[in-house]
Amino acid sequence: MDGGESGPGALLRHLPEKVLELEGRGALTRTFRRLDPERQMEVLVAVLAEAASTGPREVNVRAIARRAGVAVGSLYQYFGDRRSMVAVAAEIASGLLVADLLQYRDEVAALPLREALVAYVCAGVEWSQSQAELLRFFAGAAYQGDVWLGGRIVAPVVDALLGMVRAILVAARARGEIASGVDLETAARYVHALTLTLGDSYLLPHLDVYFRQLDGATLAERATTLAEFVTIALQSGETDASSGEE
């Protein structure tokens, strides 16, 4: 995915608009908006890092201040109260991640199906690695079962990822790469699960003990195998849950 800048710089492009929106809603103060975007991101990452360590309801404002290199009083000037710190940081993080993902959707969907799936997995992992602190927070929210964090940050990002898989399959169907009898929504959900399992096994190696996706192979090798398997399955048209019934 080389259609634009990736990494923290890409997220910073979307940050001013999101901050302005939240200020308009009264969730952030003008004092925070006046910070440089890089400094804003440092503060937000500090909030999320502390929330990932302690849980969103137990964050220590002094610990956040130490992580961010700011005074405790400054945090209250930015957010108003402790409860809103995590809520705002999570909303901004999910919004930035989703916006950054969406800019690549059409580019990836335009590739042939095999290439699209390999690019989606490999470039997606590279993209995730460039957001190290956000990845840590996201993984904690996704795998530690916190309902509050799940709704605030996991669900919007996962919906965007599922949407990317759906767009890939819809475009492949239009090019004649997928059999007409395939239920695209069912296929999208299964492919989404497969790609998440592979990508997370690479990003969070302890999960591979459970998922057994890499097991000594490279990510590119496994992504290619996954793409070939999915392509053959979708070309056969035998992905419908009712296809095995007599």
Q: Is 176:232 a contact under the CB 8 Å cutoff?
A: no
pLDDT at 219 (0 to 100):
97
Q: Is 53 helix (H, G, I), strand (E, B) or coil?
A: helix
Alpha-carbon gap, residue 19 to 25, rounded angstroms: 10
Domains of the chain: 8-236 (1.10.357.10)
Q: Quick check: 137 pLDDT over 80?
A: no
- Low-confidence winner among 11-15, 185-189, 197-201 (lowest mean pLDDT): 11-15
Contacts 24+ apart (CB under 8 A), 167-171: 167/105, 167/106, 167/108, 167/109, 168/108, 168/109, 168/113, 168/116, 168/117, 168/120, 169/113, 169/234, 170/109, 171/109, 171/110, 171/116
Q: Quick check: 4 pLDDT over 60?
A: no
CA atoms lying within 13 Å on the CB side of residue 98:
18
Q: Where are the alpha helices (DSSP H) in 110-183?
A: 113-129, 132-143, 147-149, 155-174
Question: Per the structure block, which two tokens stand in for 218?
Answer: 């490279």
Main-chain dihedrals φ then ψ at residue 150, nearest 5 degrees: -55, -45
- Outline where DSSP puts E strands in the chain: none
% of the chain residues with pLDDT over 70: 91
pLDDT confidence of 238, banded at 50, 70, 90?
low
pLDDT at 237 (0 to 100):
67
